Amino acid sequence: MVAIVAMAAPVRLAAQTGSASVTADTLPGIPLATPVTLQPRIISAYAALLAAAMLSLLYLYRGRAFVVYWIGSWLLIAAALGLVARDYSDATLRSVLTGLALLFTVWASGLMRLSVESFPQHVLRWGGRRLTIMAAAALWFLVAPFVVPLSAIVVTGTIATEGTIKDEHKAANKIVVETKDGVEHVYALAADMGGMGYISSHHALILHNNSLINLNTLEAARAGGVKRYLYSSSACVYPEHRQTDAAVTALKEDDAYPAQPQDAYGWEKLITERLCTHYREDYGIETRIVRFHNIYGPYGTWDGGREKAPAAMCRKVATAKLTGRKEIEIWGDGEQTRSFCYIADCLDGVGRLMASDFGDPLNLGSDRLVTINQLADIVCGVAGVTLGKRHIPGPQGVRGRNSDNTRLRHVLGWEPQVALETGVGQTYKWIEDQVKQRLAAPTRS
């Protein structure tokens, strides 16, 4: 079974787990849980307390001859306390609950010793008091561990209720991450991110939100017994000083160190890469790390400030075409360079990497370098229009970035296949339809 943790605008956290699914509508970058699921060991604790109450009633009804019911109720209470204690992170409270559980166990053992005379004679012949004391201890050590499922639902943070949270500082602590029984692979694709305009102006928010997302998701996967975990990193991890020339040397995976990402988005990605590596070393979870290079395609974010360059260019060209404008705006001189990877190639590569035995970071992107001006010309060609370019001040990111696919070809025996013109054609067609719908919609007064 596979779980996919992904986000889309405004932001949506979704974990799809076979026949069961868990989704949470959110504010930007802040998951807000709608389902509230009790952990199995909590349910087991409630069941133990209910059984203890029933045994106590039986004891009161049947009399002292059935003191075993009374003793059993104390043991069940002890088990319940032990189960609840496991869910508290506060060491003092956990110790108190565990101590109470042991106290109830000893109390039950003492009741057995005092009332052993009331037991049937054949029990006495099998060991008498020693047997009853040993049985009490064995019951505790056997019952408590086995009522805890091996693949329990893991809830991290404070459970939030459905609705809108206005205070982001409060909302950030209300993340709920869940894994279901039987999930073996997790694709961690969720991130608070966007185009250069968004990334360059929301450093604190991005670093804060993405750290929470990835810390909670990875720990939930580990605690839930997930076997393989794919982390979606980014080419933004590469040092800024290696990307100052438009004619950039393609970036190899080892170029990430010494580290100097340009933005907080890249720093968080790099830190989580290290976390995945250490989780693999310390806990045995098979992590895979993929560094995406400008993934694009239809059905993605295409306006609002979070869209990437290909989607933004398609929207600008489509809007100009449909409204009769003769030019589009481009940030900077348009000579900054990038490579762009179509979504179909991305999915193909991710599947191949997850099935491989390669645990180190791996680039996934096209190695065809184009300028933003060239990208605009490709989009115009697909749209069948000729438009002027008006260059305006705006965030441009690094001057040049390209993917070195040497390791990709060696590890997977594969590299992206979809030509930029083909991928842009599919993307533009979908975005033009969205622009048509928006222009046809009645305007609000």
Which of 146, 173, 204 is the endpoint of a domain? 146
Structural domain contains residue 89: yes
pLDDT digits (tens, 9 = 90+) for 144-197: 444 433 333 232 222 222 223 233 333 333 344 555 567 899 999 999 989 888
Q: Are residues 335 and 359 in the same domain?
A: yes
| CATH number of the domain enclosing 211 | 3.40.50.720
Q: Are residues 202 and 299 in the same domain?
A: yes
Structural domain contains residue 444: no
pTM as predicted: 0.64
Between 138 and 368, the more confident residue is 368
Q: Are residues 32 and 82 in the same domain?
A: no
Give the total number of structural domains in the chain: 2
Q: What pLDDT sits at residue 228?
A: 96
Q: Are residues 432 and 376 in the same domain?
A: yes
Q: Are residues 325 and 359 in the same domain?
A: yes
| Phi, psi of 364, rounded to the nearest 5 degrees | -140, 100
Q: What pLDDT sits at residue 442?
A: 83
Q: Are residues 28 and 72 in the same domain?
A: no
pLDDT digits (tens, 9 = 90+) for 80-98: 666 555 554 445 555 555 6
Q: Are residues 8 and 47 in the same domain?
A: no
Q: Are residues 191 and 304 in the same domain?
A: yes
Which of 146, 181, 197 is the endpoint of a domain? 146
Structural domain contains residue 443: no
Q: Are residues 130 and 219 in the same domain?
A: no
Concerning whether 265 is annotated as a catalytic residue, the answer is yes
Structural domain contains residue 82: yes
Q: Are residues 61 and 77 in the same domain?
A: yes
Q: Is residue 15 scored above 50 in pLDDT?
A: no
Q: Are residues 30 and 44 in the same domain?
A: no
Which of 146, 171, 203 is the endpoint of a domain? 146
Active-site residue, from 59, 238, 265, 342: 265
Domain of 244 in residue numbering reads as 2-37+153-438
pLDDT digits (tens, 9 = 90+) for 385-429: 999 999 999 999 999 999 999 999 999 999 999 999 999 999 999
Q: What is the mean pLDDT of the chain?
A: 76
Q: What is the 3-state secondary structure (H, E, C) of the chain?
A: CEEEEECCCCCEEEEEECCEEEEEECECCECCCCCCCCCHHHHHHHHHHHHHHHHHHHHHHHCHHHHHHHHHHHHHHHHHHHHHHCCCCCHHHHHHHHHHHHHHHHHHHHHHHHCHHHCCHHHHHCCHHHHHHHHHHHHHHHHHHHCCCCCCCCCCCCCCCCCCCCCHHHHCCCCCCCCCCCCCEEEECCCCCCCHHHHCCCHHHHHHHHHHHHHHHHHHHHHCCCCEEEEEEEHHHCCHHHCCCCCCCCECHHHHCCCCCCCHHHHHHHHHHHHHHHHHHHHCCEEEEEEECCEECCCCCCCCCCCCHHHHHHHHHHHHHHHCCCEEEEECCCCCEECCEEHHHHHHHHHHHHHCCCCCCEEECCCCCEEHHHHHHHHHHHHCCCCEEEEECCCCCCCECCECCHHHHHHHCCCCCCCHHHHHHHHHHHHHHHHHHHHHCCCCC
Between 168 and 119, the more confident residue is 119
Structural domain contains residue 56: yes
Structural domain contains residue 445: no
Query: 133-137, 222-226, 282-286, 430-434 — which is least confidently predicted?
Result: 133-137
Q: Are residues 179 and 283 in the same domain?
A: yes
| Highest-pLDDT range among 4-8, 110-114, 208-212 | 208-212
